[in-house]
Structure 1
Amino acid sequence: MVIGIRYSIPNVVGRGVTIIKASTRIFQRNFSSEKTYVFQQKISDHIKIELDQIPIIRPPKKLKESKKLGGKSQVQAELEQRPEKVPVRPKKSRARKKATDQTSDITNSNSNIVEPYIDETQYEGEVYSDIGGKTSQNSLTDFYQGIKDITDHYANKGPDYVVLMQVGSFYELYFDQATKFSSMLGLTLTKKKLRTQDVAFSGFPDYRLDKYLQTIFSSGLKAVICDQKHDSVKNIIERPVDRLVTPGTVIDDGLRDFHCNNFILSMTLPEDPFKKDFTSLKIGLCWADVALGRFFVLESTLNDLMANITRINPSEILINDSVDIDSLISGRWFPELGDLRKYYITTYSAPANKKKLPDFVDRFTDNKKLVNSILESWTVKEVSAASMLLHYLDECLPTYKFNFDLPKRSLPDTIMQIDPRAAQDLELTETIRGGFKIGALANIIDRTLTDPGSRLLSTWLLAPSTDVKDIAKRQSYISVFLKDEMFVEDTISILKRTSDINRTIRRVDNGRAELSEYLELANTIFLVDELRDMTVKSSNSTLRKLVLPLFNEFVEAKILLKLAKRINRTINPKTMISKPDNYKLDTDITRRNWSVQPTATPRLQQMRADYDNLLESYDTLSTELKAQCESYGYNAAVRLIRELRTGEFVVELKSSNKSLERMIKDAKFEYKEKTKTSVKIVNPEWKTLGNQMLKLEQAITLEEMVILEDLKSSLLRSNLELSKVSPVIETLDTSISFTSLARDKNLVCPIVDKSTHFEIEEGRHLVVEEGLKGNIALIENFTANPCFLDAGESWVITGPNMGGKSTFLRQNALIAILAQIGSFVPAKSARIGVIDKIFTRVGSSDNIYRHQSTFMVEMNETAIILRDSTRRSLAIVDELGRGTSTAEGIAVAFASLSHLIKRNNSKVLFATHYGSELEKLILNDPELTGKVKFYHTSLSKIRAGNLPIDEKIVFNHHLTEGVSYHSHALEVAELAGFPNDALNVAKDSFKKLVK
């Protein structure tokens, strides 16, 4: 049975109510008939505790849960027999010393403040229990039975649920959960001995929750969080399921990176899709970022599904449980879906009492009529996907207040399609080897200063625009900013001080925001207004005409500046530096720092003035007492405290001077407690002052709570207006990021139009170029190369391995992507007709999981390109046909190139070692003559006169028209350090084969 103090909330001001912030720790002792445990309980924000009179509880030395006295437990009967008033002086408790020793390892050793400690052996009060009374010999107590019921429930749902039960300041696993997952989490498995059985048990401190959740996610599991709650009506502790945490439902700041979106995606497939004709199959998609309030829907074709999933880049994918997931991701039905294996997948079945989509209208911030009109415009597939996602979020986050922005339908026709293979081959967000961010394109081009700006840039990179006007507008910002460095520098200075408003408003709605975040929100509003004012005053008319429209919706939301001013009038700015003083038991009673400005309301202003008068009285008494101590020849630190165990106000004198006793005796003070370094005394005048200060502080605290709650309501009512702030920040941030990139990397503004031209003069690969600059061992610059293509044309690139063929292919695809996200590009000049899709077939390996050889993987990828490529598409194909015999490989390569040019009419960059063979086949095909051009790189050795210098091989990466008839494999093998014996055998074999 757990014994503790019941925390209650009085209905009137001034009845001893105070607030203990989250940093305050209260310790409780768990009494059982067999063993004593100590645990630490973290008090959540704004718990109200009645402190007028904290009585003493003295439980019996050995509690017997099953023993009854007149229908009541032994503890309850003993408590009822005691008088209401208790002695002021507490008895020393050996149990307290033991408990303090046990908890010393989890208190903050770096803090100079002694954390308050509640020892229930020294208190009387109402008793609450989370174990229960009488139990049968073969049953568990209510506490353990409740835990078992929850763990059994989720065990029946699947093997991938980890139930974390909060007990005090620890999260614990019990029964089979502890046995199964303790090793994976790196926890010590132990047992709790009960009368009837041993219970497997392991746990960790609550402040390390984020660390263990990451481990759970990385193992493909889900976490069920059961937080401890005290029901003041029933007077019991309950541990209901607070949230089910998966990668897509994360609301804890420590578990996600706000530089990028954290989308959870739902998609609804037919109950038995494997019997459907996939060529016409439509799939509903819905995705949302819970912590940022973003919500989207889309109806996708099966052919475009993986490209859409790639650009969304979800942390979790939700699929209806009627689908056989193993068959789906095997790729046997539709090969592209094999890439789903890279994602965290959850299967879900909506509840029997399923809601209709309009029932979720309150989940969105806009007016109901507008939201309903949008929902009615969705297709059946989109509605199905949205309904599944919203039901799932309701189940996972039952206590979380969703606050989604106006739902939007994504328009696939306005974005470039980049499938998973292309995103991987081009290393847009992470490298192929190792999955590192350093070395990826995103790492090179992202110079944003804010989280909203970084998220927007990440979105653009995976979904480049195909809207020529939109691209031109983004380019215009860069062009103007390059000519006005002063404006850019001032804007950068302002952007650095802004906060993530979308994130803050969701934290406010769920009671998770600190008061400092309110001030940061107000400050961001003022900073955006400062940006607008700076733009208005700019002497650059072109800049004013371009940038001012960004602020139109911000200006129309006139309530924003009023709201920001109200926040500053209400909240004490000192909270940005240090948190307000908290009333702590057994510490200094005085409070000199508050959450709310004294002028927030007339009532608060009067109470604060009265409290200041009491502080003056306190300072006067302290001065007099110090003077009295000095008259006896020593200095002493003086403070008024309220004792933890008795609730009594006492004066603490810090001094080890022996003459202290004589002064106390002469002054006729009453001794309370004495240690080697301090003494506590009782004085009526000080006691009266302490009671007055405490009651007034409690009244002020309640008044502050009313003020802050009203401010919170005003913020939430202005949610729609607040959503107008972030677009200004993110647009300016990404534009300035592109400006900085263009200036430092010598980029040019490309012409992006509706033609089918692809004309690049002296193009470069940004990432490789950056790598060469950072490698002091290489004394070479990047070799720029041109590329001129139109619809139905191809360049076939030949040359030695390591000659730069693959780099050339990738660099042109990256130039196209950079151009269509609105950035300048690494080239001397560029003209690009809008590209609708980019395909890559670059390198392959066996897929053992799907029982596919290297050649089969090649064929699957090539089939997708041949099926989906259009006259506006760019396909880059590297060494197709190498996974089979030479003759068959040549045949496949030629057939693929011919199909892409004749049937798809696409732009194709084709690298191969079958140059001479393909040249013969192409020259014999009149339809291909003139549409295919051959270029090659070469290899040479550095020489001084007739003498070789260390036999050094140099690759000439400059493209020259014609075919390379040698791949120089033996030279590359020599360069790689091939053993001489093996190299000689290779040379002899080659001579025999070419005869």
Structure 2
Amino acid sequence: MSSQALYQPAESPATPETSASKTVPDNRVTPMMAQYIEIKAANPDSLLFYRMGDFYELFFEDAEIASQSLGIVLTKRGKHQGQDIPMCGVPVDRADDYLQRLIGLGHRVAVCEQTEDPAEAKKRGAKSVVRRDVVRLVTPGTITEERLLEPGRANYFLAIARRRVSDTQWCYALAAVDISTGHFVLSETDGAGLSAEIARFEPREILVPDVIHDDPELAAFWRETRASITPLSREGLDPASAERRLKEHFGVATLDAFGSFSRAEITAAGSALFYIEKTQIGSRPVLNPPVRDNAGAALAIDSATRANLELTRTLSGERSGSLLATIDCTVTPGGARLLADRLAGPLTHPGLIHDRQDAVASLVENGDLRDRLRRILKRSPDLARALSRLGLGRGGPRDLACVRDGLFAARDLGLELAITPNLPKELSGAAELLQSLRTDVAERLAVALAEDLPLLKRDGGFVRAGFDQSLDELRELQQDSRRFIAALQARYAAETGCRTLRVKHNHMIGYFVEVPQNVGEDLLKEPWKDTFVHRQTMAGAMRFSTLELGELESKIASASDRALRIELGLFDTLAQDLIDLSADIARAAEAIAVVDVTAALADLAVRLDWRRPTIDTGLTFHIRGGRHPVVEAALKREGAAFIANDSNLSGKDAGHILLITGPNMGGKSTYLRQNALIVVLAQMGSFVPAREAHIGIVDRLFSRVGAADDLARGRSTFMVEMVETAAILNQATSRSLVILDEIGRGTATFDGLSIAWAAIEHLHEANRCRALFATHFHELTALADRMPRIANATLKVTEWNGEVVFLHEVVPGAADRSYGLQVARLAGLPLAVVERAKTILSELERSDRESPKRALVDDLPLFAAPVRTQPTQPKRDPLREALDGIDPDQMTPREALEALYRLKAQQ
């Protein structure tokens, strides 16, 4: 449908103000526009969806923004202070589609509805404006509509507060709330871990007090984050007000039953509730009591590492191709969200990890139980989000059915688990919750709800016949009326002799008799003029009303209205019954998700031959036959096999560093990433793609892989690389795992070599962490001879008939070259360029043989002593000084050849 056809200005008897604007001089404000301006002034930071009949209208700048964002026609409506009023609109019944697009573009929307019957407005005068008010603010972090949400992704918003711990340090508290499911989580972190903690929740919106938003040290972060940032004033955000708001919301006298919270956490939680009250305007979502995440309970993964490893999204922002998409075998929306949550925040407590592993192992071993559970789970809809919509007053008949079906699935899961002996801790806990759940409400819903349910409760017809006697009587009256209309039409046709006479209905004049115009002329005369009262003359037809039709219409309208009122009353009663059980239903929804994730990970392990890793508190890191899960899945689709590789970074008091050299396209980056992903999978409680894995708990995971720039912040590829490397070197501990790829390659050769060299030394001497370091600086392999916890490894490659063959096998040792020319030829570089490069390479290698780089490296003082000693001054060497002044990366082939001749002349 074209945008021109999509939008037509509202024309409704509900808005007597539509004609008022035409009679008021240009220099005056119409009553309708005065109302609009007043409401808009109260919501200046939102696009105002102003309800007029069957459309939400937007005016002035809002209309211009929406028109451009949605691709709909911008028109005008009258004048305001002598100027045309820009206007556009969207149909009410399709508003969700447009809201989704606007929210996706970062806009906020205030939904303004008519709050009184138009008939009441008319009683105040012909030009009276129907009362309207904003009933809801729609923001990225507070949407609940099914069509606006991703089923398998949580929709968190974060509220942030902080407290000072020293003159130079702050502690930050985060309250993460997903009102679509009721999840409410509190956590604390220091300034260095703030970005990692925010990245763990992947929020759609962040509430930031003005004092934090304007902090110069954080201002750049708020500008650059992908989440929508909403600044908050200080008013009402103090700990005392926040604590009072929390107690009132949950109806408790003290927060002690929920746990021990810091003042900053209470402030953040209170700010979150304040925002919910502000956006939901009188509606009260079903929220779980806040749960505290203990500091250090989750593996810290900063946003750069998450992006590099493509945990939940690829670098292009797509879910497909990510680790999450590869391992997600869940069959319920709640299970998919829990899996994503566990992947985003792997555990650091071995006991809790073992509990999850035990549950997965039990379903790996008991395939029949796993299959039965998954069959039941497939019948379980999104229980948590349906309950949330009902609690907010936005639910419909299908949400009632959703909760009904979810409760029945919970009952069946509980019965299945009840007859299974020796359940592990995680599954037995879920079984207890499911078995204790009341199902009498679900049984009542099964009796009450019809088979085919409308989307909206206002449409009626969702209560099953036989459930309510008074409703059945009114429905029978409606049916009798329809039969009477048919009989009346037949009688009128017989009496007038007009076989084409029809009794019809529209919203303007109600029921009427329609006949061809020639027959209508006769009905205006005796003996029919007293029976048929003329209403309208159409092109080729005339319309009449009768006394009998008027009486019948009144009876039908009365029966329909009364029937709908009864249905709506029954809906409210049934919804309230569920809301009264919301705490139990929420716990059941969580238990269903736990069972789903456990069964899905067991199914994954069986199908892909994943094994249970050993997790302990040591510094072991030993993987046999490790594989990259995403790459392996892609190769399997193409019918190819993945080459598995071992990795050993184990140490007693400090981790080892594996220095990896090898050809381009040999698989270094894949090898780096697969070891990091195995850690994430292991600590989230999953089996892993390896023959065997023994991992000492990793507290922080760092990844610097690949090349990217950040032009918006004025950062080159090399600058981004250095910023991320600095974060790693400043934060990694002896329990961390670090993977680094090609550090220093973005600048001149000797600059880059020196940076990579110093970074390895710092990792070895200061951080003392487990690390994988891939490089093309072959000179660095000499470090393995001089530092005890560094070992060399390389990717095997062979040549066959002049072609390079990558074997993707990691073996001990160092590479002798990078095979860059062969890769360049495979990439399609012109043959002339490749041949010329061979010539230049031959000259460079000959020069190197005559003045070897190895000798240069051996002479450098940093290799002769640990980094903690002072280097001695090398002897002056003019040839080396000339070499230092050459930057090969910035030279043309001709310039490089000329430089070689100059160097040769200095010998």
Please name the residue that 1:242 is paired with. Answer: 135
Distance 1:501 1:645 in 2: 42
Matches within 5 A, 1:472-491: 472-491=354-373
Q: Where does residue 644 of structure 2 map in the other structure? A: 784
Question: Which residue does the alignment assign to 2:881?
Answer: none
Distance 1:738 1:679, change over 3 A: farther
1:342 and 2:226 equivalent?
yes
- 1:223 maps to a residue whose letter is V
Name the residue aligned to 1:918. Answer: 780
CA distance in 2, matches of 1:805, 1:815: 16
CA distance in 1 between counterparts of 2:515 and 2:374 reads: 52
Q: Which string of whole-angstrom CA distances, capped at 9 and with x for unpartnered residues, describes residues 157-199 of structure 1?
A: xxx6434433333333333444566445434444333385123
Tell me the CA shift for residue 435 of structure 1.
Answer: 2.0
1:952 and 2:803 aligned: yes
Query: Is contact 1:607-1:696 (8 Å) kept?
Result: no
Paired position in structure 2 for 1:867: 730
Q: Distance in 1 between matches of 2:133 and 2:457?
A: 32
For residues 715 and 437 of structure 1, the distance between their equivalents in structure 2, rounded to whole angstroms, comes to 34
Q: Give 1:738's aligned amino acid.
A: L
Conserved 8 A contact 2:144-2:385: no
User: Matches of residues 717-732 of structure 1 in structure 2 within 5 Å?
Assistant: 717-732=580-595
Q: Which amino acid counterpart does residue 857 of structure 1 have in structure 2?
A: V
**Is 1:935 aligned with 2:817?**
no
Q: Does the C-alpha gap of structure 1 residues 162 and 325 become closer, same or farther in structure 2, counting only changes over 3 Å?
A: farther
When residues 725 and 323 of structure 1 are mapped into structure 2, their CA distance, relative to the original with a 3 A threshold, is closer
**Alpha-carbon distance change, 363 to 134 in structure 1, aligned in 2, over 3 angstroms:** farther
The equivalent residue for 1:197 is: 82
Query: Which shows bigger deviation, 627-636 or 280-289?
Result: 627-636
Point out the structure with the larger helix share.
2
Residues 479-518 of structure 1 aligned to structure 2 (within 5 Å): 479-518=361-400
Cα 1:304–1:495 shift into 2, 3 Å: same
State the one-letter code of the partner of 2:110.
V
CA positional deviation for 1:868: 2.0
- The whole-number CA distance in structure 1 between the counterparts of 2:478 and 2:824 is 88
Matched, 1:596 2:460: no
Q: Structure 1 residues 716 and 229, CA, compared in 2 at 3 Å: closer, same or farther?
A: same
Aligned to 1:253: 146
User: Larger deviation: 186-195 or 527-536?
Assistant: 186-195
Report what 2:349 is aligned to: 467
**Distance in 1 between residues matched to 2:528 and 2:60, nearest whole Å:** 62
Contact 1:758 1:790 in 2 (8 A): yes
| TM-fit CA distance, 1:270 | 7.3
Secondary structure of the residue aligned to 1:480 is helix
**C-alpha contact (below 8 Å) 1:151/1:177 kept by paired residues:** no
Q: Residue 832 of structure 1 aligns with which residue?
A: 695
SS in structure 2 of the partner of residue 965 of structure 1: coil
C-alpha displacement at 1:850, in angstroms? 3.7
The 3-state SS of whatever aligns with 1:173 is strand
Partner of 1:36: none
Which residue is 1:387 aligned to? Answer: 270
Residue 265 of structure 1 deviates from its aligned partner by 1.0
TM-score, with normalisation over the residues of structure 1?
A: 0.74
How many Å separate the matches in 2 of 1:288 and 1:886?
Answer: 49
Give the SS at the match of 1:987: helix
* Counterpart contact for 1:179–1:200, Cα < 8 Å: no
Structure 1 residues 378 and 690 mapped into 2: Cα distance closer, same or farther (>3 Å)? same
* Larger mean Cα displacement after TM superposition, 816-825 or 195-204: 195-204
Preserved contact between residue 189 and residue 200 of structure 1 (Cα < 8 Å): no
1:366-445 alignment runs, 5 A limit: 366-369=250-253, 372-373=255-256, 377-432=260-315, 434-445=316-327
Q: For the residues of structure 2 that align with 1:984 and 1:597, how far apart are their CA atoms?
A: 81
Contact 1:488 1:736 in 2 (8 A): yes
- Pairwise CA distance, 1:841: 1.7
Q: Which residue does the alignment assign to 2:660?
A: 797
Shift of residue 822 of structure 1? 1.7
Q: What amino acid is aligned across from residue 264 of structure 1 in structure 2?
A: F
Identify if the C-alpha distance between structure 1 residues 310 and 176 changes in structure 2 by more than 3 Å, giving closer, same or farther.
closer
AA aligned to 1:171 is: Y
Q: Measure the CA separation in 2 of the matches of 1:480 and 1:353.
A: 47
Tell me whether 1:226 sits opposite 2:77 in the alignment: no
Change beyond 3 A, Cα 1:546–1:130: same
CA RMSD of aligned residues (A): 4.1
| Equivalent residues of 1:519, 1:573 under 8 A apart | no
CA-CA distance at 1:878 after TM superposition:
1.1
User: Partners of 2:790 and 2:252 in 1: how far apart?
Assistant: 58
1:883 matched to 2:746? The reply is yes
Q: State yes or no: 1:175 paired with 2:60.
A: yes
**Cα separation, partners in 2 of 1:730 and 1:868, compared to 1, 3 Å:** same
1:463–1:985 CA distance, 2 compared to 1 (3 A): same
Deviation at 1:614, TM superposition (A): 7.9
Q: Which runs of 5+ in 1 are unaligned?
A: 1-101, 108-115, 121-125, 332-336, 583-592, 943-947
Letter in 1 for 2:79: L
SS of equivalent to 1:714: helix
The correspondence for 1:357, drawn from 237, 242, 246, is: 242
Closer/same/farther in 2, CA of residues 447 and 655 from structure 1, 3 Å limit: farther
Could you tell which deviates more after superposition, 792-801 or 628-637? 628-637
Distance in 1 (CA, whole Å) between partners of 2:375 and 2:494 is 54
Whole-Å separation in 2 of the counterparts to 1:974 and 1:325 = 52
* Letter of the structure 2 residue corresponding to residue 566 of structure 1: R
Structure 1 match to 2:405: 523
Q: In the alignment, which residue of structure 2 is the partner of 1:263?
A: 156
Identity fraction in percent: 27
- Contact persistence 1:163–1:223 (CA under 8 A): yes
Give CA-to-partner distance per residue, 1:688-717, whole Å, 9 cap, x none.
666555545544443444333333332222
Map 1:573-612 → 2, pairs under 5 A: 573-576=450-453, 594-597=461-464, 599-600=466-467, 604-605=468-469, 608-609=472-473, 612=476
| Residue matched to 2:28 | 139
CA distance in 2, matches of 1:256, 1:617: 43
SS for the counterpart of 1:240 is strand
Give the superposition deviation at 1:875.
Answer: 0.8
In structure 2, the partner of 1:561 is 439
- Given the superposition, is the C-alpha separation of residues 230 and 895 from structure 1 closer, same or farther in structure 2, using an over 3 Å criterion? same
With over 3 angstroms needed to count, the CA separation of the structure-2 counterparts of 1:633 and 1:294, relative to structure 1, is same
Paired with 2:13 and 2:35, the residues of 1 have a C-alpha distance of 26
Distance 1:581 1:265, change over 3 A: closer
Give deviations 1:434-458, integer Å, cap 9, x for gaps. 2222211111111211111111011
Q: 2:603 aligns with which of 724, 733, 740?
A: 740
Between the aligned partners of 1:197 and 1:534, the Cα distance in structure 2 is 73
1-side partners of 2:307 and 2:105: how far apart?
23
Secondary structure of the structure 2 residue equivalent to 1:877: strand
Query: Aligned partner of 1:345: which letter?
Result: I
- SS of 2:840's partner is helix
Q: Partners in 2 of 1:267 and 1:295 — Cα distance? A: 13
Summarize the alignment of residues 634-649 of structure 1 with structure 2, pairs less than 5 Å apart: 644-645=507-508
Q: Which amino acid aligns with 2:441?
A: L
Cα–Cα, structure 1 residues 531 and 389, in superposed 2: closer, same or farther, change >3 Å?
Answer: closer
Change in CA separation of 1:730 and 1:677 when aligned onto 2, cut-off 3 Å: farther
In 2: Cα distance, 1:550 partner to 1:613 partner: 49
One-letter amino acid of the structure 2 residue matched with residue 238 of structure 1 = R
Provide the secondary structure at the position in 1 that maps to 2:321.
coil
Preserved contact between residue 458 and residue 568 of structure 2 (Cα < 8 Å) = no
CA contact (8 A) 1:358 1:375 kept: no
Q: 1:546 to 1:290 in 2, by over 3 A?
A: closer
Q: TM-score, normalised by structure 2?
A: 0.81
- 1:217, distance to aligned residue in structure 2 (A): 4.0
Mapped partners of 1:496, 1:914: distance in 2: 53
Which residue is equivalent to 2:893? none
